[in-house]
């Protein structure tokens, strides 16, 4: 059920006011990248991302763990979870197959391959957008903030820097919905601020 009192419409999206009001700035040294480890299933994937991951897998593979490679070569780059969504497979029901540990921090093999110039795909959009989660409906996308205890230090850091969620996630929001959509989001943010 969507509570329209706490959401605004931009194009074919319904956006939670949390995007404007929730302070947030990732704090990897505190959370250690645990969003790649904990959770009920892997990272949600869009259909075009599946074929892309299949294509770039040989270039990502050198950055993966042995266990991750073993799972992908048995199950493929995606599985269907209990809710019927296509997601990245997990290692032993925990780590994403593309996760690896760099010191104390869990990082993404896809993103590392991207930073090394091996691919133009930085990571699945669901990972890039986190802690924003998108739920697709027939007529629109619901764009919501997913609150999770492992991100509490990110919330504190966002409070200290006065950075709202929509500002911190500018790049992935533009990647997902485009510059014009994001400009409309910023206009809405100004209007909300002026009404406060």
Shared domain check, 115 and 53: yes
Reported as a single tens digit per residue, the pLDDT across 69-106 is: 999 999 999 999 988 999 999 998 889 999 999 999 99
**Same structural domain for residues 71 and 102?**
yes
- Determine contact, residues 25/161, Cβ cutoff 8 Å: yes
Q: Give the tens place of pLDDT for each residue, 38-56.
A: 777 899 999 999 999 999 9
Least trusted range by pLDDT, from 17-21, 35-39, 144-148, 180-184: 35-39
- The size of the chain, in residues, is 196
Peptide bond into 98 cis (omega under 30): no
Residues 147 and 116 in one domain: no
Are 87 and 157 members of one domain?
Answer: no
Handedness of CA 45, 47, 48, 52 (dihedral sign): positive
- Do 37 and 125 share a structural domain? yes
List of E strands, 103-194: 105-108, 132-136, 141-145
> Chain-wide mean pLDDT for the chain?
92
From 108, 130, 152, give the residue that closes a domain: 130
Q: The domain containing residue 85 runs over which residues?
A: 33-130
Residue 146 and residue 193 in one domain: yes
Q: Examine the domain organization and report whether 55 and 117 are in the same domain.
A: yes
pLDDT of residue 126 exceeding 90: yes
Same-domain status, 51 and 112: yes
* Average pLDDT score over residue span 9-29: 94
Instruction: Examine the domain organization and report whether 57 and 4 are in the same domain.
Output: no
pTM confidence score:
0.90
**Are residues 41 and 71 part of one domain?**
yes
What are the percentages of helix, strand and coil residues in the chain, rounded to 5? 50, 20, 35
Torsion angle of the four alpha carbons 117, 30, 147, 176, in this order, in degrees rounded to the nearest 10? -10
Same domain, 135 and 125: no
Tally of domains in the chain: 2
More confident residue, 115 or 3: 115
Q: Which of 112, 130, 148 is the last residue of a domain?
A: 130
Final residue belonging to a domain, choices 130, 149, 171: 130
CA-CA-CA-CA dihedral for 100, 106, 108, 112, to nearest 10: -90
The reply to whether 169 and 83 lie within a common domain is no
């Amino acid at each position: 059920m969507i509570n329209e009192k706490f959401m605004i419409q931009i194009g074919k999206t319904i956006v939670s006011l949390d995007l404007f009001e929730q302070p947030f700035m990732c704090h990897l040294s505190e959370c250690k990248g645990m969003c790649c480890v904990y959770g009920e299933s892997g990272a949600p994937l869009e259909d075009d991302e599946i074929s892309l991951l299949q294509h770039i897998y040989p270039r990502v593979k050198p950055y993966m763990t042995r266990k991750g490679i073993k799972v992908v070569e048995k199950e493929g780059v995606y599985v269907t979870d209990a809710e019927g969504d296509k997601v990245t497979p997990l290692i032993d029901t925990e780590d994403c197959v593309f996760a690896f540990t760099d010191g104390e921090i869990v990082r993404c093999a896809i993103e590392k391959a991207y930073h090394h110039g091996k691919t133009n795909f930085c990571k699945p959009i669901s990972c890039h957008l986190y802690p924003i989660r998108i739920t697709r409906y027939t007529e629109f996308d619901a764009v919501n903030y997913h609150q999770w205890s492992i991100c509490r230090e990110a919330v504190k850091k966002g409070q200290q820097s006065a950075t709202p969620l929509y500002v911190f996630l500018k790049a992935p929001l533009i990647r997902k919905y485009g510059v014009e959509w994001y400009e409309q989001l910023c206009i809405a943010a100004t209007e909300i601020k002026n009404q406060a």
